[in-house]
Amino acid sequence: MRVLVSGGGTGGHIYPAVSLVKHLREQHPTAEFLYVGTERGLESKIVPEANIPFKTIEIQGFRRSLSLENFKTVYLFLKSVRDSKKIIKEFKPDVVLGTGGYVSAAVVYSAHKQGVPTVIHEQNSVPGVTNKFLAKYVDKIAICFPEAAEYFPSQKVEITGNPRAQEVATVEKSDILKTYGLDPVKTTALIFGGSQGALKLSSAMKDSLAELASRDYQILFATGERYYEEIANELKTNFSDCQNIALQPYISNMEDVLKNVDLVVSRAGATTIAELTALGLPSILIPSPNVTNDHQTKNAMSLVNVGAASLLKDCDLDGTHLVAALDNILLDKASLAVMSEASRQQGIPDATDRLLTVVSTIMS
């Protein structure tokens, strides 16, 4: 079996593809894989670290305003299609999977033109531009949210969930919180704003330190590299005796940490939603206002509407509202338990197996 995958730009596009490759390697040790991404994208770091063969093409997205850069975009797309065709001819994949981002547009389109079976995986409740474009060319479309189905040809759609869910669902509970100076048995909230952090969330946390330092629950906050020093200095200078707040610029073993916390405060990206529901984690979701079609709010509402999450709008995010939201859940054990069960019921723990079934169908 030879599998080519492509996706880039954000972790939400990359991690599902990496999870799928990991699972396939376990089931088919002789299978061969190739990941096609961009040199500047996050995939150029994540994919090689996962020991997946990696090649790049050059491509960029359209500017929303009139710009000469859009002429370059058209040129790069045509060139990337030609480059993708060469890669596909050399690798000779049995199937090509695209998980979103501009890079997958050229790769999956090229595969279709060469008669290679193709699948796209849409993580969000509202599809991105790339997958909308590819919908007419691919053989199957795997989705995570039922709401996404209306954007695609119904005969191609399969609800599979996100492969990342199946990966985190297998993680064992541990005492990993000790490595951050926290108590493994104490009620814990994990707070993060994405791999780069989030300015407004960091400001709210900085303003909340005095209140949070006095709580019975504890906090692990992944600040992002750019905000770590400022908040760490504030905590050290004014709350040096604080034992229940731990800071990290970045958490690389996120699945292990998620397995050992009781509540998550985060943006509402599709991969995060998949991880939360796979583990039955309650959450306070703060949708990013800087995403296409406000899809993070729609992602979040899929959990809010069933009682698995609380919504905190970005425009309302400050220290006061953040502490209140944390107190409302963490200081009410019954509420925490109900939200946890509601979250678990939304999960698709066999997401990777479902996606592999779709892949196998078009290959047969």
Binding site for UDP-N-acetyl-alpha-D-glucosamine, residues?
10-12, 124, 195, 251, 296
Of 185, 227, 7, 187, the residue nearest 96 (C-alpha): 7
Q: For residue 118, with 0-12 CB atoms within 10 Å meaning exposed, 13-18 middle and 19 or more buried, which class applies?
A: buried
CA atoms within 13 A on the CB side of 238: 14
> Interior CA angle at 97 toward 92 and 102, to 5°?
105
Q: CA 216, 219, 222: angle at the middle one, nearest 5?
A: 175
Distances in Å between the Cα of 16 and the Cα atoms of 22, 39, 160, 309 are 10, 19, 12, 23
Query: Residues comprising the binding site?
Result: 10-12, 124, 195, 251, 296
Q: Which residue in the block uniquely carries the two structure tokens 């509970």?
A: 173
- Collapsing DSSP to helix, strand or coil, 151 comes out as helix
